[in-house]
Amino acid sequence: MRLVRAGQSYRLVARTMRVSLSTVAYWVRRAGEERLDRVDWSDQSHRPKRLARQHPLTMIQAVLRTRRWLRRFDALGDYGPAAIRDHLLAQGQPVPCERTIARWVTQAEPEVVKRRWPRPPRGWYLPSVANASSELDRVDVVEGLRLSRRGRVEVLNCLSLWESLPGSHPAVRITTTETLHWLGLHWRKHGRPHYVQFDNDTIFSGAHARRDYLGRLVHWCLCLGVTPVFAPPLEKGFQAGIEAYNRRWQERVWQRWRHPSLSKLRERSAAFIDAYIARKRRGTGMRRAWQEPARVPVSNQIILLRRLDESGRLHLCSQHFQIARSWAQRLVRCEIDVNAQMVRCYRLSHRDPHYQTHIAKRKIKLRLVPWWKTPR
């Protein structure tokens, strides 16, 4: 303290006395403006000024006893902290808050604590995407929008997984032809991904009424060397990224203004996309240069993510295959080799995303509609 009051800096005093800078600051605060011979230099107690409320053991026992009773006899079968507290209050007994009851239950019954599995890495169902060596574009359609003056409008949205590269194309109606045209413009400008993911809408997969066929968009992707991936129907999480972008686009563009015409909507959407790219895009260098689509597929792989039924059967492109009863009602990644007419199935598990072993191989009959053929 004498050195500090003599004008030396805290850092110099700490170096001279071989103590930390925080120690010097602490004793300066303790001394304040008092004379050094009047300062209490003795150690102070570290006991908290306010102790946590202590509940009697009988109250803890009453809570646990009530939980056991509710588990056996409650008509609703509810024996959580809220139900325990309501039951004891109805009996006129003093009870703590729900958080305290939950803590007592957890301490008495550790098995009630739910195990939280770590979230799988992004793109975990595609190994090369999960280790950030390949890029994945996710595509979806927003429907049911209406312009302020006339007509409905739909929006084709695209968002890459690693670069966060967005794209939005409002149109009167999104069709397969419109999707081919706009994705071609988007990839020509920003480069091709290795994979592109769709849901199971007929715009992307082709008409479901045509057995053993996949549509023009699938063939076009293969001719570009881009592997199409189809998310499993009615499964959460696989389209979460693009659906979150759909909500953001609607909040920041669609709901922000009134749009008198489709051209005005496209203008505002383009301004939003430019700002999004400037602020949020992460350049990874994984995208490949554009090349014009050939007439013959450059890639021969199609990936479909599916869940087996209760007997371990796979329903794929209007065909049915017995895969494995031991993996019933579980997810599989189906890799279709178009040239060999073969489908290979791999196990998928959220809890163990790296466990993707080969489970079965089956023959499949599949044909593709050429991308240059216009629909009748």
pLDDT in tens, 24-35: 888 888 888 788
The band of 238, judged by pLDDT with boundaries at 50, 70 and 90, is very high
pLDDT above 70 covers a percentage of the chain that reads 95
Least confident of 2-6, 244-248, 263-267, 356-360: 2-6
Looking at residue 109, its pLDDT comes to 80
pLDDT at 66: 93
Average pLDDT on 212-234 reads: 92
Which pairs from 117-123 meet CB under 8 Å and 24+ separation? 117/350, 117/351, 120/350, 120/353, 121/353, 122/161, 122/162, 122/241, 123/161
Tell me the pLDDT tens digit for each residue of 325-371: 999 999 999 999 999 999 999 999 888 888 899 999 999 998 888 88
Q: Which residue has the higher pLDDT, 148 or 244?
A: 244
CA angle, 224 as apex, 345 and 272 as ends, to 5°? 100
pLDDT in tens, 150-181: 788 999 999 999 999 999 999 999 999 999 99
Band of residue 7 on the pLDDT scale cut at 50, 70, 90: confident
Which pLDDT belongs to residue 84?
93
Residue 44 has pLDDT above 90, yes or no: no
Q: What is the pLDDT of residue 355?
A: 85
β 301-307/331-337 pair status: antiparallel
Question: Does 309 score more than 70 pLDDT?
Answer: yes
With a cut of 90, say whether residue 48 has pLDDT above it: no
- Nearest in space to 302 (alpha carbons), one of 346, 347, 333: 333
Q: How far apart are CA 279 and CA 166, in angstroms?
A: 11
| pLDDT grade for 376, boundaries at 50, 70 and 90 | low
In which element (H, E) is residue 155 found?
strand 152-160
Strands 367-368 vs 213-214: parallel, antiparallel or unpaired: parallel
Distance CA 137, CA 161 (A): 6
Write the DSSP assignment of 190-204 as a string of letters: H-B-SEEEE-S-HHH
- Retrieve residue 47's tokens: 């006991």
| Residue pair 138/158 in contact by the 8 Å Cβ criterion | yes
pLDDT band at 249 (very low <50, low <70, confident <90, very high): very high
Confidence of residue 207 (pLDDT cuts 50, 70, 90): confident
pLDDT of residue 272: 93
| pLDDT number for residue 33 | 79
Q: For the segment 250-303, what is each residue's pLDDT rounded down to a tens digit?
A: 999 999 888 888 999 999 999 999 999 988 888 778 899 999 998 888 888 999
Q: How far apart are the first and last CA of the chain?
A: 92
pLDDT digits (tens, 9 = 90+) for 94-152: 888 999 999 899 888 876 555 566 788 889 999 999 988 999 999 999 998 988 767 88
In the prediction, which pLDDT does 116 show?
64
pLDDT at 40 over 60: yes
The pLDDT score that the predictor gives to residue 188 is: 95
How far, in Å, are 1, 11, 20, 255 from residue 4 at the CA level? 5, 10, 14, 61
